[in-house]
Amino acid sequence: MATSSFSKGCFVFKPSAKKKKTSITSADYFNESLKDSEDGKKRFESFQLLWEQMKSQTEQLQDELNRKIFDNLICFLRKSHPDFQEKKDAWSSRMRSSEIPTAALVLGVNVTDHDLTFSSLTDVLNDTVSPFVVLLQAQECPGIKQLLQKLLSQLMGCSADLDLDLDDDEEHVTISQRKMNCSMASLTGWYQNITKKLGTPKKKRSSSSEHWQSPPVIVIFKDLESFPASVLQQFIVISSRYIHDLPLVFLFGIATSPVVIHRLLPHSVSSLLCIELFQSLSCTEHLSTVVNKLLLSNYFPFKLSGKVLQVLTTIFLYHDFSVQNFIKGLQLSVIEHFYSQPLSVLCCSLFEAIKYVNNLSHTQCENVRHLPSFMSYVETQTPDVQVKLLTSDSYLKAQTGKFIENLHSYHETFTPVLRCLHNFTSILPKYPMGKQIRELYCACLERNIWESDDYEESLALLRMLAKGELVTTTEKCLNVLKQFPGKQLCGELKKLETFLDLFQNLEGEQIDIIEKEVISPQKTLQKKTDLYQLQKTLLEMKETRRSKKPSKFESLRLQVVNFIDNLVRKYLAPPESKPLYEAVYFSGASAIRRHLNAVPRTTLHTALNNPAAYLKSLESDSGSLYGTSPDICIAYKLHLECGRLINLYDWLEAFATVIGATEASDLEPSKQVDEITHARFIRAVSELELLGFVKPTKQKTDHVARLTWGGC
């Protein structure tokens, strides 16, 4: 047989070793663009530790703020059903037999925070009041049928979690959940069966379920304003007919005002409800509490600059009033700080920071030398010290440790003095330094506060304070300084105590003498006199007031105001005056604004005009047309060359020309466009219409109108 020079065969190549799939963690993304991996790992660990502490503090704060209103709700819900009250209770006498107990919970316009509030409330009610808690949302209940289905499905899910002996009826419960007629009658029958099981002592129950003989069914309407009025009315009317057999309790979540109940429900329906109002803490007060606990606390080393705090506060006040979004912005600030600042590893406790300073490498020492605050400090030193700071790493480490100690000491005195100043300025008319402490905090972070006109106005008003207000405010400042654990403000604390003792020792006789001196010339004016004598008396009174010595109270008041002024000038200097403040303070306001305060039109124009900014596989040239670009980008660039009205046929031909040039098949003007290109064009135009760039017009049937003008 003839042989061939080529042989056919099948060859198997076994892999030498199996490659294990490696999962990418968040730390890998954090260290991706950092030069020093060990330094990046340390910064990521420091960020995680710091944020876990701040997060736990915010959760604890949220629980404390909700505790009061939750306790009031629990008390109301327990007494709303006869099994949780005595027959002589005042509530039972107020509630008629056909009325449904209803709690109207006003949470405020910060709708994005309501999810967390209702989640916590549902858990609390499940543990303390009733296992039958249903949370309904408007988008899930467009009709009464869907509302009843949602109600039954959630309640049967609750019964599956109960500690019941349902071995024999388990299959029946599953079948009934699928085939049961969704009505209040079936719900009443289900409830009676469940309560019978709860009453049997076959299994031990927790201490919180001792009162579960006939627990109420709590129905929470999360967003009452969004529910259709007809659905609410039908459900309330139907429920009122079963209130004797089914202990229902409603809880309305209101974002605007309680008046919305009467706007959605007519009197014939609202009269079936026995409503009690509950008001939650306002979002602005909640924000002030968060700022006090997180940013004005010396427990956390991380700080925000004045501009960053203003960006977060502006987004809160002018966009959503959401404290949770403010906390997310704070979390983003912490991430950006540890990611962008090489010396952020020093943003920790004083002991850990000093320990890390002693182990600084030469590269990290160079990072210290490049800090603007360090360069400003070097310029104020003698030539010999400047040479040591710029050349000797050991000398730099020693000075860096002192800088960190001074920075922590600065924070320990800054916060109590700031609170003292706020106590004085918050009682002034028109609040020249701001009503909230965060406003005063931002002003102190940005500049020397004593150089502003508002500060001078505040001092002028403080020099006219009455004795009662001055003594009360001084006592508040004394209590603030007593809470300060350090010894740096001991002298100021003793001075405040001395001032209070002097106020208490002021003699009332001195005030009586002054009043007599003022009243005595006024009595002479009551006598009959001529014009000359009257003018002479008035001039004497004026000279007496000018030459009159200040009273003891006025002198003491002036001393207190001067004391506060000296405190401000000594301890409230801006952080830019402290070397190495960049290691602790985050000042990237532009980055936070770019991430949180979106500019959709500019972003859309950049993506459509230059898709290479987001798609790295494309050529970066915003002025040219490439057939490899996405269809919507081609259509967008072509529509920029048109006027107010765009001819669809001309637009299609231009689109097909760009597509055909890439595919090396030049289309003739008279040649008809193929169906695929036509479909791609229609989809691109539809997407542009969805984004709001073009719209159909009745002026010409084969034209569309352009809605935007300019590049972006």
Q: Which of 226-230, 483-487, 690-694 has the lowest mean pLDDT?
A: 483-487
| pLDDT at residue 562 is higher than 90 | yes
Average pLDDT for 428-434: 91
Give me the mean pLDDT over the 165-189 stretch. Answer: 57
| Residue 678: pLDDT band with limits 50, 70, 90 | very high
Q: What pLDDT band is residue 612 in, cutting at 50, 70 and 90?
A: confident
Q: pLDDT tens-digit profile of 4-58?
A: 544 555 666 666 555 555 566 777 777 766 766 667 888 899 999 999 999 999 9
Per-residue pLDDT at 509: 44
pLDDT, one tens digit per residue, over 80-93 is: 765 444 443 444 44
Q: Is the pTM of this model over 0.85?
A: no
Residue 441: the pLDDT is: 95
Q: What is the pLDDT of residue 91?
A: 41
- Residue 207 has a pLDDT of 40
pLDDT beyond 60 at 164: no
- Sequence-distant (≥ 6) Cβ neighbours of residue 231 within 8 angstroms: 141, 142, 143, 144, 147
Query: Could you count the other beta carbons within 10 Å of the beta carbon of residue 124?
Result: 18
Predicted pLDDT at 267: 93
Weakest-pLDDT range from 32-41, 165-174, 698-707: 165-174
Q: What is the mean pLDDT of residues 409-417?
A: 93
With 60 as the cut, is the pLDDT of residue 593 above it?
A: yes
With bands split at pLDDT 50, 70 and 90, how would you rate the model's confidence at 597?
A: confident
Burial of 179 (0-12, 13-18, 19+ CB in 10 A): exposed
Domain ranges of the chain: 35-64+284-448+574-597, 80-161+174-198+212-281, 468-517+549-572, 600-706
Does domain 80-161+174-198+212-281 fall into CATH 1.10.287? Answer: no
Q: Does the pLDDT of residue 427 top 90, yes or no?
A: yes
At 338, list the tokens.
């540890």
Two tokens at 121?
């409330």
pLDDT at position 169 = 44
Q: How far apart are CA 344 and CA 339, in angstroms?
A: 8
Q: What is the pLDDT of residue 70?
A: 92
**Class of the 600-706 domain?**
mainly alpha
Handedness of CA 412, 417, 420, 426 (dihedral sign): negative
The answer to whether the beta carbons of residues 166 and 172 sit under 8 Å apart is: no
- Write the CB contacts of 409 (distance below 8 Å, at least 6 apart in sequence): 486, 488
Band of residue 250 on the pLDDT scale cut at 50, 70, 90? very high
> Using CA atoms, how far apart are residues 426 and 437, in angstroms rounded to an integer?
8
Return the pLDDT at 660: 80
Q: In the prediction, which pLDDT does 489 show? A: 86
614-624 confidence digits (pLDDT tens) = 887 676 665 66
To the nearest whole number, what is the mean pLDDT of the chain?
Answer: 82
Tell me which of 129 and 204 has the higher pLDDT: 129
Residue pair 295/123 in contact by the 8 Å Cβ criterion: no
- Cα–chain center distance at 287: 7
Q: Which pLDDT belongs to residue 613? A: 81
| Tens digits of residue pLDDT in 96-114 | 556 899 999 999 888 888 9
DSSP-derived pairing of the beta strands 585-586 and 303-304:
parallel
* pLDDT at residue 80 in the model: 78
Whose CA is closest to 138, among 228, 263, 218?
228
Report the C-alpha gap between 341 and 135 in whole angstroms: 45
